[in-house]
A and B are shown apart, each in its own frame.
Chain A
Amino acid sequence: MSIDPGTLAPLAVTLKSLTDPDFWVSVGVLAGIYAIVALGLQLNTGFTGIVNFGMAAFMAIGAYAMAILVLKAGFSFWLALPCAAGASMLFGVIVGLPSLRLRADYFAIATIAMAEVVRLFAQNARDLTGGNEGLFCDLDNPSNCYPDAWNDISESIDDFISNFWSDPPTLLPLLIVIWVVVGLATLVLVRLQRMPWGRVLRAIREDEDAAQALGKNTLAFKLQSLAIAALLGSIAGFFLALDLRTVHPLDFEPLVTFFAFSVLILGGMGSYRGVAVGAVLFWFVLEGTRFIDLPDPPFTETRIAAVRLAITGLLLIGLMAFRPQGLFGKREEMVLGD
């Protein structure tokens, strides 16, 4: 899997870097972004029983819509934000309407195919998306980058922090904002789950026919679940763009969705609170391979990328074989029925 080389550049640091704030900020930012994605997956897969393999598409639409609206359509940052989220949710509904009627395995395949169509579109519709050049700043006017409004916010947070921390890491403001969003989203989802609405979702997961027999429009509930996941995905995609400082098709490969699934399973099925823990654990290990100074040879850059891929693969295999409910999930919540 080709991962954006920018995210893979090995840093010449030793094991000592585990005390380096940059390492922890980097872990925290990625963990927060993937916690948001995994919260959406928890709602879909953990609580509604729909196996959504297309989160990468929602992330891509969120990130690209922001960049295109601000750079090409001249929207203000604060107007573009809800429009981008809305675009992603609308896409979720359009995709969900025909495909949510399908059996679980077909739905999974349909969503991954749909995500690949979005990524190919981003790669090939060069006039709109910049293709493989990526999209972040206006090419004709490089000083005009889309998150200018974000930079202002970031600076004001920086100013505030510098009152008691003289030289904070660059990404600290992003880290704080992301985790505030993670916290809020977790609170809202936990509340929703306790409401009648959340109980209907669980009824659908347990037995869709029974829920239908009770007069529930299960398709509408499943669409709502998917749309909320699309909203969370678009926010995460936007944050990922701020972290990587680009919007590039390769950042939205199917692998991204399965990183989020690893986070979800690690944290535990049917546990919103476990998601944050799973995200930090997962990215601690994955970023660890980047920050620990491994000897080259044999650890070339592509081999370290291979190690990260192998860790993700082994984690999925091992958890599914021995602890499918994850670290904090309840076994009875893990509905895997056939």
Chain B
Amino acid sequence: MAEPVPSAIGERVKESLRRPWVGAVLVIAAIFLALVISHGLHNVAQTGLNGLSLGAIYALGAVGLTLVYGILRLVNFAHGDFLTFGAYMAYLVNVTWGMPLVIGVFWAMAATAVLGLLFERVLWGPMRAKHAGFLQLILMSIGLAFLLRAIIQWFWSTDIRVLDVDTTSTVDFLGLRIGQTQLIVVIVGVAVIIAIGLMLRLTLLGKQMRALSDDLELAETAGIDTRRVINYTWIFAGALAGLAGVLAAATTNLRPEMGFELLLPIFAAVILGGIGDAFGALAAGMVIGVMTEWSTLVIDARWKTAVGFIVLVAVLIVRPQGIFGKAKAI
């Protein structure tokens, strides 16, 4: 009886290794250990903490993009410029009109949600009715991205602007230090995404969204008001993109191309997390944010923007269905 036991354990280990998220956790743990050994726990924890606020922004952007991608099969390249739009809406309220940023956040979320609904009404809805193909839709979304950026550049020029936020106060704990704004960004981001993720799992609307994501026509046949669900999808995508844009602006600054620059790491989070999976997007966004900051321990900080792109390319090559996704027709 002594012999089969180790092989059974071995089988179990092998079995769990086949589960991709276990593999992903092991890879991250290995990177973490290697960095702790070479650079010390404090540095790794500090850069990881910095990465969380970046990760929260990626994650918030990714949730909206992944819902639209999963439900409408639309690869929305204009999503990055939704973030930019939200950021400038907050700038309008917070700096131009001199009101508190909290009002700016709600205004930005509302305005970007309306923008999402507007484009659904005038562009995406009619194009779906025409049975437009993938290339048509993807090029259209790129055209829309340019148009949005052009409008922002017309009104606000290419000057670098900042929101009226506290950039100097810091919070210390366990010997680590995080900017007060960064900490708020992390808390807001994580809370909102968990709320959205629970909503998708637990409410009827969430169930309907997942039904549409599986098969839109079948969902319609089953009596789901698909139009209503699609409108809600755009409201969520727009509002979350607007929020992500404001958080990005609060931790860095505002430029017309900020959203397009955030778009590729956000795509990385969407694909790593599995298309249509809000919790996957949260986890993947955080992982990419933390990895980006960890990279500054090893290589010059000016290379860190490449981390998101490299993760994206690597995931597409190794596991295009994402960590949590199932291998379907990819």
Task: Tell me whether A109 and B136 are in contact (CB under 8 A).
Answer: no
CA of A321 to CA of B316, assembled, Å: 30
At the interface, yes or no: A303 with Cβ under 8 Å from chain B? Answer: yes
- Stretch among B15-23, B147-155, B224-232 lining the A interface: B147-155
Consensus secondary structure, chain B interface: helix
CB distance from A98 to the nearest CB of B (A): 4
At the interface, yes or no: B317 with Cβ under 8 Å from chain A? Answer: yes
CA of A261 to CA of B135, assembled, Å: 11
The residues of A that contact B123 with a CB separation of less than 8 Å are 317, 321
The residues of B that contact A2 with a CB separation of less than 8 Å are 158, 257
Which residues of B in the span 125-174 have a Cβ within 8 Å of any Cβ on A? 126-127, 131-140, 142-151, 153-154, 157-158
With contacts A113-B267, A120-B309, A303-B153 taken as known, whether A106 is within 8 angstroms of B320 at the C-beta atoms is: yes
Closest A residue to B267 using CB positions: A109
Task: Tell me whether A113 and B73 are in contact (CB under 8 A).
Answer: no
With contacts A2-B257, A108-B75 taken as known, whether A313 is within 8 angstroms of B153 at the C-beta atoms is: no
The residues of B that contact A254 with a CB separation of less than 8 Å are 260
The residues of A that contact B138 with a CB separation of less than 8 Å are 51, 105, 108
The residues of B that contact A25 with a CB separation of less than 8 Å are none
At the interface, yes or no: A110 with Cβ under 8 Å from chain B? Answer: yes
Which residues of B in the span 301-330 have a Cβ within 8 Å of any Cβ on A? 302-303, 305-306, 309-310, 312-313, 316-317, 320, 329-330
At the interface, yes or no: A218 with Cβ under 8 Å from chain B? Answer: no
The residues of A that contact B137 with a CB separation of less than 8 Å are 320
Which residues of A in the span 88-121 have a Cβ within 8 Å of any Cβ on B? 98-99, 102-106, 108-110, 112-114, 116-117, 120-121
CB distance from A117 to the nearest CB of B (A): 5
Task: Tell me whether A309 and B149 are in contact (CB under 8 A).
Answer: yes
Partner of B140, one of A108, A114, A316, A337: A316
CA of A116 to CA of B303, assembled, Å: 12
CA of A302 to CA of B300, assembled, Å: 32
CA of A45 to CA of B133, assembled, Å: 13
Contact indicator per residue, chain A 305-326, by CB within 8 Å of chain B (1) or not (0): 1110110111111101100100
6 closest residue pairs by CB, A with B: A336-B133, A316-B143, A313-B146, A313-B147, A310-B150, A317-B143
24 contacts between A and B (CB under 8 A): A51-B138, A103-B320, A103-B329, A103-B330, A104-B134, A110-B312, A112-B264, A124-B300, A254-B260, A302-B157, A302-B158, A303-B153, A306-B153, A307-B150, A309-B149, A309-B150, A313-B145, A313-B146, A313-B149, A314-B143, A317-B140, A321-B127, A321-B140, A324-B132
